[in-house]
Amino acid sequence: MGFLGAFVVEDRFVVLIEHQSTVCENMPLRLLLYITRIYERFIDGNAIYRSKMISLPRPEFYVIYNGTAPMPDESTLRLSDAFADHPEAKALCQLELGVSVINVNAGHNEALVGKSEILSGYVKFVDKVREYERSGLSIEDAIEAAVEYCINCGILVDFLDKNSREVRNMLFTEFDINDAKEVWLEEGREEGREEGREEGREEGRIELAKRFLALGVSPEQVAEGTGLPLDAVFSMKR
């Protein structure tokens, strides 16, 4: 799960930030595709054929991580790690993209997290959900208790008051999505086996994609997980 944002800062940077509870090792490739699309919208289509260099905002790429798997405070994912090549050839790589992965779980990067009241509140909120879940509450009750706790303690009060239902739905999806993925993937495989035909496997992937989209998973992630073309996944949202 994740969301993507792109910003131009003082006409100098294109910053793409994606929040994730599980780190996807294909993030450099995904962000390469994202930034290409953004630059295509940024410039005149015929400008690339002119001899004068086009001035572009310099991109920076970040993943804000708050999953449960152990992660260092900061790490980097690199596009070159995906190239099917001898490791020694990476030094000669002419195409690279690095993604900074920033761990914002409680106890990590506290100085950075503390600079944003919203981010700090979100970290406390998620940590409280996990604390309640460890105590034996169901995920639904843990989220409900965390919402009540944060409102009573003055954490994200305005946001939670106005968006409590959306937050509950988002957090339930976020915490439950890994289990859901395993179940749905097995269902898709089972449908394909029962049909014994390519049509059956295709129908299973399409049904799986629709379920992911209904839970708010991004089309790019759905396409990656199901093997369906990205255009086909986008068409399901219309």
- DSSP code of residue 28: H
Residue 135 confidence (pLDDT):
94
Q: Name the 3-class secondary structure at 78.
A: strand
Q: Has residue 101 got a pLDDT over 90? A: yes
Counting DSSP H helices and E strands in the chain, the numbers are 8, 5
The separation between CA 204 and the C-alpha centre of its own chain, rounded to angstroms, equals 24
d(CA 135, CA 110) in angstroms, rounded, equals 25
The whole-number pLDDT of residue 208 equals: 72
CB crowding 217-237: b at 16 or more within 10 Å, else e: bbbbbbbbbbebeeeebeeee
Task: Give the whole-number percent of the chain exceeding pLDDT 90.
Answer: 20
Q: Name the E strands within 46-149.
A: 58-65, 74-78, 98-103
150 within a domain of the structure (yes/no) = no
pLDDT at 96 over 70: yes
pLDDT reading at 7 higher than 50? yes
What strands lie across the sheet with 4-9, from one edge to the other?
Answer: 4-9, 13-20, 58-65, 98-103, 74-78
Instruction: Look at residue 165 and tell me if it is in a domain.
Output: no
The total domain count for the chain is 1
Per-residue confidence (pLDDT) for residue 20, from 0 to 100: 77
| pLDDT at position 1 over 50 | no
Q: Which of residues 168 and 112 earns the better pLDDT score?
A: 112
pLDDT band at residue 75 using 50, 70 and 90 as cut-offs: very high
**Residue 217 domain-assigned (yes or no):** no
**Neighbour-count burial for 55-81, b at 16+ CB within 10 Å, e otherwise:** eebebebbbbbbbeeebeeeeebebbe
**pLDDT score at 228:** 83
CA atoms within 13 A on the CB side of 219: 11
pTM exceeds 0.85, yes or no: no
- Burial zone of 94 (CB within 10 Å; 0-12 exposed, 13-18 middle, 19+ buried): exposed
Residue 170 lies in a domain: no
Per-residue pLDDT tens for 147-180?
Answer: 889 989 999 888 787 766 666 666 665 655 555 5
Averaged pLDDT for residues 47-63: 88
Distances (CA, A) of 64 to 24, 90, 120, 232: 12, 27, 13, 28
Range of the domain at 42: 1-115
Q: Is residue 49 part of a domain?
A: yes
Does 95 fall in a domain?
Answer: yes
pLDDT for 205 equals 73
Query: What average pLDDT score do residues 18-46 get?
Result: 84
pLDDT band for position 62 (cuts 50, 70, 90): very high
Residue 103, domain member (yes or no): yes
Average pLDDT for 113-133: 90
Q: Would 2 be classed as within a structural domain?
A: yes
